[in-house]
Amino acid sequence: MHVWVVGASSGIGEATARALARQGALVSVSARSEAALQALVNEGQGRIQSFPLDVTDAAAVREAAQSLQRRGPLDLMVYCAGHYRAMRADAMDLIDMERHLDINYRGALNVLDAVLPAMLARGSGHISLISSVAGFRGLPKSLAYGPTKAALTNLAENLYIDLQPRGLGVSVVHPGFVQTPLTAQNDFQMPALITPDQAAAAMIEDWARGLFDIHYPKRFTRWMKLLRVLPYRLYFPVVRRFTGL
């Protein structure tokens, strides 16, 4: 199996690349940090190869996709690239909001544009987009991050509708709190915090089960799914009560 993990320099992407390589997959990894990717290559015993890139550079993404597919057809693309900074409306930063959009959403479009034609031509392959429970509904301090993850979830739903009948797999992943450089900036206690290795294991298990909606840890994400269906007259007071914001 040949897997491309985009956003593999740290966190969930790094742990997933390492776990897949241990299971015998041929893993191509991409991110901006060449040093972080090289560390993965050094651990990979020949199963991991590095293709550094910036996901906002569509030409670089296309070039990397062409290069890595010389290793063999791509069976799975995992989009883990992400940017996060807590933000509220009284301190709106347009430049940083656009950075969230460029990395979290437009970057995924660049990668999809680069890999989908070959997958469609073969009639096989799997696309997995890493969204977040922050994309379910509006949350405090998620002014910039949440909307981009909501867009990614909606994108995955549309991809499934179009691609599943064509023989391609699609999944969207909604992690709760995972111990990564992104969540390290949070100044509050994160419920049900798990490690990147635990996140990778849960994700790989659910890929094997063929699930579209992958979420973990379930002791937390099931509550977030429940909040997703509350009417606004209940939802907003509940969020304020439990966050204090």
Comparing C-alpha atoms, which of 55, 166, 150, 31 is closest to residue 112? 55
**CB-CB neighbours of 118 under 10 Å:** 15
Q: Which long-range contacts (CB under 8 A, 24 or more apart) does 21-27 make?
A: 21/45, 21/47, 21/48, 23/204, 25/1, 26/1, 26/2, 26/71, 26/72, 27/2, 27/3
Helix (H) or strand (E) holding 169, with range, is strand 169-175
Token code pair at residue 217: 């840890």
Helix (H) or strand (E) holding 215, with range, is strand 213-216
Rounded to whole angstroms, how far apart are CA atoms 171 and 198? 18
Rounded to whole angstroms, how far apart are CA atoms 1 and 43? 18
Positions annotated as catalytic residues are: 145
Rounded to whole angstroms, how far apart are CA atoms 67 and 50? 11
SS3 at position 28: strand
